[in-house]
Amino acid sequence: NAGVMQNPRHLVRRRGQEARLRCSPMKGHSHVYWYRQLPEEGLKFMVYLQKENIIDESGMPKERFSAEFPKEGPSILRIQQVVRGDSAAYFCASSGVEGYEQYFGPGTRLTVT
Amino acid sequence: AQSVTQLDSQVPVFEEAPVELRCNYSSSVSVYLFWYVQYPNQGLQLLLKYLSGSTLVKGINGFEAEFNKSQTSFHLRKPSVHISDTAEYFCAVSTANFGNEKLTFGTGTRLTIIP
């Protein structure tokens, strides 16, 4: 009865390093959404993926950020050359074909020093 | 595009008192509406959702919400709160279109229960 899994739960990176965040959706779910929560703010949509396809990346910053959801394995959110402003909690959610009920993972808290 | 407004950033309430957390939305198309709860350092848990049908929706932990289309509101209520209800509450909307149900969130309301 595993829910959405994210790892690592906490990640510390120095400015200029790369951050890789992983998300394993609930069993049977093929849709993955990534959201970012900045301190004291609500969650903001970043990207929506299905297996091997990016459906909507309208919320992704144009540079340094990328996401993938391969045929096998977890979805990956990759941030290159991190800056202090990337410090945030990154949440992954998954849903089934219906899409409208999303289940959230515990999040990855990224700290850039 | 949709937007969600949660006017109250913080709401303190005495234990066993009733509470209402306000949510208003804006959208040019039909929407689905959600309330999520976030406990400290945890992910979001779905409290309840409105997709269609009855405008009064009941959720977990004794919460309920009423969809009011004319006022574009979806306020969350609980008749008697408990200490364990202390958390951050987020209202969210998505378009009622199959194919991309990305959520737009409000900025959240921090509910603090006073013993």
Q: Cis ω on the peptide bond leading into residue A70 (within 30° of 0)?
A: no
Average pLDDT of chain B is 93
Q: B52 in contact with A at a CB cutoff of 8 Å?
A: no
Are B102 and A107 a contacting pair at CB < 8 A? no
* Chain pair A-B, CB pairs under 8 angstroms: 59
Per the prediction, chain A carries an average pLDDT of: 93
pLDDT tens for the 115 residues of chain B, in order: 889 999 999 999 999 999 999 999 999 888 899 999 999 878 899 999 998 888 999 999 999 999 999 999 999 999 999 999 999 999 999 987 766 788 999 999 999 999 9
Q: How far apart are the first and last CA of chain A?
A: 36
- Residues A43-89: tens digit of each pLDDT: 999 999 999 999 999 999 999 999 999 999 999 999 999 999 999 99
Query: Percent helix, strand, coil in chain A (nearest 5)?
Result: 5, 50, 50
Asked if B46 has any chain A CB less than 8 Å from its own CB, the reply is yes
Pick the residue from chain B with its C-alpha nearest to A47. Answer: B102
